[in-house]
């Protein structure tokens, strides 16, 4: 009985050791990240819209350049909330070329100050862009005087 328990234990340990050092047949290997020589440089990483009338869509283009030697690919651009929509080029940016990440802020129903982030991820590095401003209600227009003809 002791020999049987020993055999099962040895077989179990061998199986664990072998499984850790040998890939599973038919599995896909984990891709190895290659080092990229792309590098992103933004002209500015923050923009203040100042005063925005409630209901307006405030838009700003953050211009950037690929200052590296490999093509730059922005893999994902996200905003810190649903009120901000980022737009970015999906194609590779050649070395020395420029493009823009557009930030659109929807001020509808959002009076007061705002400070939002846009997270840019790509093979040239990660960058956080910031937009800010103050949303105010549109000033009421004065009533026109009513003239009564007698």
Q: What is the mean pLDDT of each run of 10 residues along the chain (150 residues)?
A: 55 49 51 76 98 96 97 96 96 97 96 97 97 90 66
Provide the domain limits for residue 127.
40-136
Whether residue 47 lies inside any domain: the answer is yes
Please state, in angstroms and as integers, the Cα–Cα distance from residue 75 to each residue in 40, 51, 56, 126, following that order: 13, 32, 29, 10
Whether residue 21 lies inside any domain: the answer is no
Whether residue 63 lies inside any domain: the answer is yes
Whether residue 101 lies inside any domain: the answer is yes
**Rounded-to-integer distance, Cα 79 and Cα 134, Å:** 18
Per-residue model confidence (pLDDT) at position 139: 74
Whether residue 114 lies inside any domain: the answer is yes
Whether residue 3 lies inside any domain: the answer is no
Distance, CA of 24 to chain centre = 35
Per-residue model confidence (pLDDT) at position 77: 97
Per-residue model confidence (pLDDT) at position 8: 54
**Rounded-to-integer distance, Cα 76 and Cα 99, Å:** 15
**Rounded-to-integer distance, Cα 85 and Cα 51, Å:** 19
Query: What CATH number corresponds to the domain at position 48?
Result: 2.60.40.10
Per-residue model confidence (pLDDT) at position 36: 86
Beta bridge partners of 104: 59, 85
Per-residue model confidence (pLDDT) at position 125: 94
Whether residue 92 lies inside any domain: the answer is yes
Whether residue 148 lies inside any domain: the answer is no
Per-residue model confidence (pLDDT) at position 129: 98
Look at the chain and report how many structural domains it folds into.
1
pTM: 0.71
């Amino acid at each position: 009985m002791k020999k049987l328990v020993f055999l099962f234990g040895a077989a179990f340990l061998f199986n664990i050791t072998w499984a850790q050092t040998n890939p599973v047949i038919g599995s896909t290997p984990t891709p190895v990240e290659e080092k990229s020589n792309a590098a992103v440089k933004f002209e500015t990483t923050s923009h203040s819209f100042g005063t925005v009338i409630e209901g307006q869509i405030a838009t700003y283009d953050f211009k950037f350049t690929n200052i590296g030697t490999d093509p730059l690919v922005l893999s994902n651009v996200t905003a810190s909330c649903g009120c901000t929509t980022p737009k970015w080029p999906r194609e590779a940016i050649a070395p020395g070329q420029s493009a823009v990440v557009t930030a659109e802020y929807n001020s509808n129903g959002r009076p007061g100050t705002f400070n939002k982030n846009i997270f840019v991820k790509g093979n040239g590095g990660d960058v956080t862009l910031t937009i800010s401003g103050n949303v105010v209600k549109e000033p009421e227009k004065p009533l026109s005087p009513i003239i009564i003809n007698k």
